[in-house]
Amino acid sequence: MPDKTAETPPRVIVVMPARNAARTLERTFSGIPREVVDEIILVDDASTDTTVDLARALPLHLIWHPHNVGYGGNQKTCYLEALQRGTDIVVMLHPDGQYEPGLIPDMIAPIVRGEADLVLGSRLAEPGAALRGGMPLYKYVANRVLTAIENQILHTDLSELHTGYRAYSRKLLMSIPFLRNALDFSFDSEVLMQASHFGFRIVEVPVRTIYDEDASSIGLGASVVYGLRTLKAAGRLVLHRNNLWRCRKFMP
Ligand SMILES: Nc1nc2c(ncn2[C@@H]2O[C@H](COP(=O)(O)OP(=O)(O)O)[C@@H](O)[C@H]2O)c(=O)[nH]1
Ligand SMILES: [Mg+2]
């Protein structure tokens, strides 16, 4: 008898954590290759523009937060809802147009092949491309330095650990206690530390860097806070691993 489960394609859900994404939402949405995506969830984090009105008019599943909780808090809602809706693979796609939705098949391929549980869309895989794409120099330098430090701690050799374009397997999201993570941007770094700690395979695929005037991007102050909190998360992982200071984020 043929193995039916082997033929069933995985259920793929795209989640969009949104905050004031009205100018870019429709363009991002229309670029999503629906032939490989089963459902799209948009979580609006109390936007003050027309993001919610625009989202209501699109064929997607909309959730809105009655108050703003931040980028990490938004992702918690995204992943909870995707898991409840039976996803096998989740792709996080920022609705601000900074990542190409057309690359979703590339993002999910390593998980479909059973070769990874976390796929990072790396803007730094191709030398020089990030700066040519408009990434501010200070962000580029900080990204490279932080990535080098994290590679040492995670025992990886990845070109970028600060991308907002990611795909996760259901198994990973069911295993890492992501609800215990930060509400701010350091949520993303904590997920990486957890993925490594729980033994999940992380791979990267190259993506284009897009910085245009419609996109949102965190400023200098928030970037510094993010960088310091990323280092803190890495430090906590080292302490936890060595039984020096246990951290609930790394407990099953
Ligand atoms: N800044 C911010 N972004 C949020 C929030 N909730 C969801 N987002 C979304 O998260 C994405 C990343 O934020 P962004 O400002 O573009 O940061 P970037 O990663 O530096 O480009 C955007 O697409 C926002 O729409 C929030 O509370 N604050
Ligand atoms: Mg952005």
Q: In 3-state terms, what secondary structure has residue 216?
A: coil
Output the average pLDDT for the chain.
96
Q: Which domains does the chain have, with CATH numbers?
A: 7-243 (3.90.550.10)
Ligand 1 site-directed mutation target among 51, 74, 92, most atoms within 8 Å of CB = 74
pTM: 0.95
DSSP H helices in the chain: 4-7, 25-30, 51-56, 71-84, 104-112, 129-132, 137-154, 170-175, 186-197, 220-241
* Residue 1 reports pLDDT greater than 60: no
**pLDDT class for 47, splitting at 50, 70, 90?**
very high
Angle formed by the axes of helices 71-84 and 186-197, nearest 10°:
50
Q: What pLDDT is stored for residue 7 in this prediction?
A: 73
pLDDT digits (tens, 9 = 90+) for 7-46: 789 999 999 999 999 999 999 999 999 999 999 999 999 9
Ligand nearest, relative to CA of residue 28: 1
Q: Which residue, by CA, sits nearest to atom 6 of ligand 1?
A: 71
With a 6 A CB cut-off, is 250 part of the ligand 1 pocket? no
d(CA 75, CA 63): 12
Q: What pLDDT is stored for residue 184 in this prediction?
A: 97
With a 6 A CB cut-off, is 135 part of the ligand 1 pocket? no
* 123-137 mean pLDDT: 97
Sign of the four-CA dihedral 163, 167, 169, 175? positive
**pLDDT class for 224, splitting at 50, 70, 90?**
very high
